[in-house]
Amino acid sequence: MSSASNMAYEEWKLGLPSTPPRSTLYSLEPVGIGTPLVECLTSYITRLAEAHCVFPGILMHNLMGPFLQQSSVYQGSRESMAVGQAQNTQSFNGTAQKRAGAAVYALECLTLQRSLRFLTLLTWEGAFSAHKLLRRTQTWCPACLEEWRSTGQVIYEPLLWTLQVVTRCIRHHCELYTACPHTECGHSVPWLAWKTLPGHCPSCHQWLGMAISAQNEGDEATLIWQQWVTEQLGNLLALAPTVVVPPPRTRIHEVLRHALQQMGPERPGRHKEFARSLGVVRGTYSTWLSKQDIPQLETLLSMCARWKISLYECLFENVMALTLHSDLGISGPSKYKYQRSVRGSWGTPQVQDALEAILTDDEFPPPSLGAVARRLGCYPASLRQHHREVCNALMERYQIYLQTKKQTDLQQYCEEVKQAARHIASQGKRPNSHQLAKVLKKPGILRAPEIREVWQEVLREFDTHL
Ligand SMILES: [Zn+2]
Ligand SMILES: [Zn+2]
């Protein structure tokens, strides 16, 4: 026998090899977990649908909804996954278990990804008030989208862009966009629509990114405030995966009580003084202390700025170790720099200067008094009380702008209706309201008497030529 015939072969194990569990859907990796620019859940759903070559509406309606209906954990939640008319789809990114929690559960089961809750604000359910937290429709930085596309990176929407309090991109120093920039469209963009594609407008299907130059011409206080807010929230979103025990709802109340104690012993007017130091009315502050409510995110951030602590410290540091400065005379990174005075009043010469600067500025469209008050971090009534003359001038300028705009819009609508009606007539069809409604962006304008007149004129022309 040859030596080859005596060779010992390895032993074969004939049992089936162990295979890792298989996911129903493609196990798409989420973008940016553990970083300030972590993706939001609606962005993940959009990308997941794209990876399967289906519309997000189909994914939600045909897969996620039925999956949840059969699930024992979130039974009866099928309807909560419907994209429908794209209303309220922002809540998939929010703090509510019913919507964000259910969507995360379904997606984690279907993709076997285990960290999708960090694409929502579920970790911050106890820290963030749901009131005025999320934007109803998308905001985005066109420069970020363009940069990601040109460098071959994944196109997605960061969770930061879903927050109402964030209005600028601090990477590109520009305002976030809130409506489709293509002139023939101009629609707002829902977080999730039936046919959403990453980085595209679901109305006109055009690309939403573009290279834009830095816009640093806004007032300096707002720029500093936005930089600070974005950093605070970005840090918090990046830390979410490391949070073992999320801050409970009582955390903010504890911090507020500690801040009150630091104002000194009980004395008449102490609560009023404290409320004023936080820039809120006594009633609002009372609902916080009685634990019925927690401050809105923007108010919480402004309190941190006044106390000179980070949002992270406010939510996680040992409360007793926090030193909270409630004296407003000290400057800090806040948009409230104008309103600070020793007595926390808005009647200071700095506020007068700020108002006059806004009045003499060529800003277009001019801001309403409400918008000016928001910029300065106070109420319109407070401004009117102390600076009546300049406030009246601001209001008058805004009214003139509104009237002019109304006239310009009306002329534009008249022209639009006239052209649309003539176009329909040129095709041999009578330009009735049904036909016009199909082509007009806002069919409701046909109710305006001036527009009806223009329309009736074209109808008469059509009828006489029959
Ligand atoms: Zn950007
Ligand atoms: Zn569009």
For 419-456, what is each residue's pLDDT tens digit?
A: 998 899 888 888 888 888 888 877 788 888 888 888 88
Angstrom distances, CA of residue 192 to CA of 134, 162, 178, 382, 452: 14, 12, 15, 39, 36
Q: DSSP letter at 100?
A: I
Q: How far does residue 101's CA lie from ligand 2's centre (Å)?
A: 30
How far apart are the C-alpha atoms of 436 and 422, rounded to whole Å? 10
Whether the predicted pLDDT of 77 surpasses 70: no
The ligand that comes nearest to the alpha carbon of residue 172 is: 1
Helix (H, G, I), strand (E, B) or coil at 369: helix
Q: pLDDT: is 407 or 340 the higher one?
A: 407
Residue 80 has pLDDT above 80, yes or no: no
- For 29-65, write each residue's pLDDT tens digit: 999 999 999 999 999 999 999 999 999 999 999 999 8
Task: Report d(CA 358, CA 342) in Å as an integer.
Answer: 24
> Residues lining ligand 2 (ion), CB within 5 A?
180, 182, 185, 201, 203-204
Query: Which value, to the nearest 10 degrees, does the dihedral of the CA atoms of residues 196, 24, 111, 162 take?
Result: 20
For residues 401 and 405, what is the distance between their CA atoms, to the nearest angstrom? Answer: 6
Both tokens of residue 259? 């801040």
In this predicted structure, which of 15-24, 220-229, 281-290 has the lowest mean pLDDT?
A: 281-290
- Count CB atoms within 10 A of the CB of residue 416: 18
What pLDDT shows up at residue 2? 53
- Whether this prediction's pTM lies above 0.85 is answered by no
Q: Which residue has the tokens 């008058």?
A: 396
Lowest mean pLDDT among 132-141, 205-214, 264-273, 306-315: 264-273
* 259, 326 contact by CB (below 8 A): yes
Distance of CA 442 to the CA centre of its chain: 25
39 C-alpha to ligand 1 centroid (Å): 14
pLDDT exceeds 60 at position 3: no
Cα–ligand 2 centroid distance for 133 (angstroms): 25
pLDDT at 283: 81
Dist. CA 147 → ligand 1 center (Å) = 8
* pLDDT value at residue 342: 33
Label residue 82 exposed, middle or buried (CB < 10 Å: 0-12, 13-18, 19+): middle
CA of 186 to the centre of ligand 2 (A): 6
Distance between Cα 143 and ligand 1 center (Å): 5
Query: Sign (positive/negative) of CA torsion 409, 414, 420, 423?
Result: negative
Query: Nearest 5°: CA angle at 216, between 210 and 218?
Result: 115
pLDDT in tens, 97-127: 888 999 999 999 999 999 999 999 999 999 9
Shortest-distance ligand to the CA of residue 181: 2
Compute, in angstroms, the gap from residue 182 CA to the centroid of ligand 2: 6
Q: How close is the Cα of 87 to the center of ligand 1, in Å?
A: 26
- In this prediction, residue 177 carries a pLDDT of 95
Kindly give the distance from the C-alpha atom of residue 290 to the centroid of ligand 1, in angstroms, as a whole number. 41
pLDDT attached to residue 222: 82
Q: How far is ligand 1, taken at its centre, from the CA of residue 231, in Å?
A: 14
Distance 179 CA to ligand 2 centre (A): 8
Long-range pairs, 447-451, Cβ under 8 A, ≥24:
448/410, 448/413, 450/410, 450/414, 451/410, 451/413, 451/414, 451/417
State residue 329's pLDDT score.
34
What is the distance in A from the centroid of ligand 1 to the CA of 91? 23
Indicate which ligand has the atom closest to the C-alpha of 187. 2
Query: Ligand 2 mean position to 82 CA, how many Å?
Result: 23
**Nearest bound ligand to CA 142?**
1
Measured CA to CA, the distance from residue 336 to residue 348 in angstroms comes to 13
Cα 149 to ligand 1 centre (Å): 12
Q: How far is the CA of 156 from the centre of ligand 1 (A)?
A: 12
**Which of 138-147, 333-342, 429-438 has the largest mean confidence?**
138-147
Residues 264-292 have a mean pLDDT of 80
- Of the pLDDT bands very low, low, confident and very high (cuts 50, 70, 90), residue 193 is very high
Q: Is residue 146 predicted with pLDDT exceeding 60? A: yes
Cα of 274 to ligand 1 centre, how many Å? 38
Alpha helices in 112-249 (DSSP H): 142-150, 220-239
Q: For the chain, which domains are there?
A: 25-244 (no CATH), 247-335 (1.10.260), 342-466 (no CATH)
Write phi, then psi, for 219 (nearest 5 degrees). -70, 145
Report every protein residue that has its C-beta within 5 angstroms of ion ligand 1.
141, 143-144, 169, 171-172
Distance of CA 205 from the midpoint of ligand 2 (Å)? 6
Residues 6 or more apart in contact with residue 218 via CB below 8 angstroms? 175
Cβ atoms of 170 and 231 closer than 8 Å = yes
Q: How confident is the model at residue 301 (pLDDT cuts 50, 70, 90)?
A: very high
Looking at residue 13, its pLDDT comes to: 83
Helices (H), 332-448: 349-360, 369-376, 380-386, 388-426, 433-439
User: How far does the centroid of ligand 2 lie from the alpha carbon of residue 202, in Å?
Assistant: 7
For residue 142, report the distance from its CA to the centre of ligand 1, in Å. 7
Q: Which residues partner with 134 through β-bridges?
A: 163
Of 25, 21, 56, residue with least CA distance to 41:
56
Ligand 1 center from residue 37 Cα (angstroms): 11
Q: What was the pLDDT predicted at 341?
A: 35
State the distance between the two ends of the chain, measured CA to CA, in whole angstroms.
Answer: 108
- 188 alpha carbon – ligand 2 mean position (Å): 8
How far, in Å, CA of 350 to CA of 375, rounded?
14
